Amino acid sequence: MEMGSSIFRKKDVNSLLHQRSPLKRTLRTMDLTFLGIGAIIGTGIFVLTGKGALTAGPALSVSFLIAGICCGFAALCYAEFASLAPISGSAYTYSYIAFGEIIAFIIGWDLILEYSLATATVSAGWSGYLVSLLGDFGIHLPTVLTAAAGTTPGVTTYFNLPAFLIVLIITWIISIGITQTKEVNNVMVIIKIGVVLLFIICTVWFVKTANWHPFNPYGWYSYHGGTATGIIPAASIVFFSFIGFDAVSSSAEETINPSKTLPRGIILSLVISLILYVIMTLIMTGIVKYTGFANYLNAPIMAVLHKTGQLWLSIIVSLGAIVGMTTVMLVCLYGQSRISYSMSRDGLFPKFFSDIHPKYQTPAKGTWFFGIVTALAGGLINLNILSELVNIGTLTAFILVSAGILYMRRKQPDLKRGFRAPGVPFTPLLSIGFCLVLIAGLNWETWLRFLVWLAIGLTLYFTYGRKHSKINAD
């Protein structure tokens, strides 16, 4: 490790590779692929397809393809870093190696926000599906306990109890061990893929190719009624359907032969998710004329079931949505716990967050701390205004990881890599370019909130992290 008190001091890859991990190694390629699919397939299919169809028409399938390719460039960069430095911490660890401590702290702080807000936001959506499903069976929860205050205009609500409870249950699963986390996730991903395949098999026969005409009604980019429409704006919307594969790289120290299995898990999960997304959007826009999704923005799949008269499928689809969102929360909370663990082990956070439970071999204290904070956020805060912070946090992480590959290839070309991203320098440059375009499309309030969060993080770094850093002690 590089010495000195510079805020840009770096970690050395070779010394990292000799570091012993107290975490339990049990994950294989299939487990990592399922972790990735668990994080990716959720709100994309069950929520965003409606808004996307209104933005691009049947060409939404092309928007998904473009967004998937964009994420693919970033995924290749993640895969190379994961094989180069198979250590917990994802983009935080990679930034520590390439750019130094201050940049690593900022991206770690940023990822904690990303995973917390993603989990809390999805927990609110999960609660909505559960309340609706229970209503179908005649079970009605008190309205005041179904959403945070101010979520729905004209409706009195105080606390989202289902959202709060599901986050606590998932926190408990993660805290008792990676084996339990893996098994729960694998079962739920199989159920989720089963529901998606059942939907495809039952509805594909109702596709009318006439609904695909015009296939691209708004072109690549246009303004329609004061709103950006077309393939590119829709790609910006559905890009966030793919967020989650980066959490796979947080599992490096719990993976068997990580330099080979991590790249496979990251890329396979992205490819499988992309194929399912494209097939689903072609079927949905082939059954329902794209303008018909205007009345089904929160549950676009229901538009298809009404059109085909297969309302018996709605309960199964609702269950699939609930399971799908559960796996998203599981993987996001898991990734968050491993990043805070890595930052604590490096001295940038208090030791509390890296204390390993003697029985479960997990950072249980840190997992519970962030789990409770996230559960309270899901229960108390109207998250509609904060959800775009997830987007800016993820895109910033993608940019740093892609830039890190350019830097490491130039500065340390001889380091052993189990996987080499093809097309360097073009692959990371394309990844950075796409991310910058998408960041530029975010509104100024999102930028302001992001800068406030970074200011809090920098205060924490200069008052605690810099002095307690393990590199500083060395």
Q: Cβ(269)–Cβ(36) under 8 Å? A: yes
3-state secondary structure the chain: CCCCCCCCCCCCHHHHHCCCCCCCCCECHHHHHHHHHHHHCCHHHHHHHHHHHHHHHHHHHHHHHHHHHHHHHHHHHHHHHHHHCCCCCCHHHHHHHHCCHHHHHHHHHHHHHHHHHHHHHHHHHHHHHHHHHHHHCCCCCCHHHECCCCCCCCCCCCCEHHHHHHHHHHHHHHHCCHHHHHHHHHHHHHHHHHHHHHHHHHHHHHCCHHHHCCCCCCCCCEEECCEEECHHHHHHHHHHHCCCHHHHHHHHHHECCHHHHHHHHHHHHHHHHHHHHHHHHHHHHHHCCHHHHHHHCCCHHHHHHHHHCCCCHHHHHHHHHHHHHHHHHHHHHHHHHHHHHHHHHCCCCCHHHHCCCCCCCCCHHHHHHHHHHHHHHHHHCCHHHCCHHHHHHHHHHHHHHHHHHHHHHHHCCCCCCCCCCCCCCHHHHHHHHHHHHHHHCCCHHHHHHHHHHHHHHHHHHHHHHHHHCHHHHC
Tokens of 8: 């840009």
The per-residue pLDDT for 160 is 87
Q: Would you give per-residue pLDDT tens digits along the chain (474 residues)?
A: 444 457 778 777 666 666 666 667 777 888 888 888 888 887 667 777 777 888 888 888 898 888 888 888 888 888 888 778 777 777 888 888 888 888 889 989 988 888 888 888 888 878 877 887 787 778 888 888 777 777 666 777 788 899 999 999 999 988 887 777 788 888 888 988 898 899 889 888 888 889 888 888 888 877 777 677 888 888 877 777 777 777 777 777 777 877 778 888 888 988 998 999 899 889 988 888 888 888 776 678 778 888 888 777 888 888 888 888 888 888 889 888 888 988 998 889 999 888 888 887 888 899 999 999 999 988 887 766 666 677 788 888 889 889 989 988 888 888 777 778 888 899 999 999 988 877 776 667 778 888 898 999 999 999 998 888 887 665
The per-residue pLDDT for 298 is 67
Q: Which CATH number is 27-462 given? A: 1.20.1740.10
The per-residue pLDDT for 229 is 80
The per-residue pLDDT for 94 is 83
The per-residue pLDDT for 441 is 66
The per-residue pLDDT for 21 is 63
3-state secondary structure 391-454: HHHHHHHHHHHHHHHHHHHHHCCCCCCCCCCCCCCHHHHHHHHHHHHHHHCCCHHHHHHHHHHH
The per-residue pLDDT for 19 is 65
Each domain of the chain, given as residue ranges in start order, spans 27-462
The per-residue pLDDT for 386 is 63
The per-residue pLDDT for 151 is 67
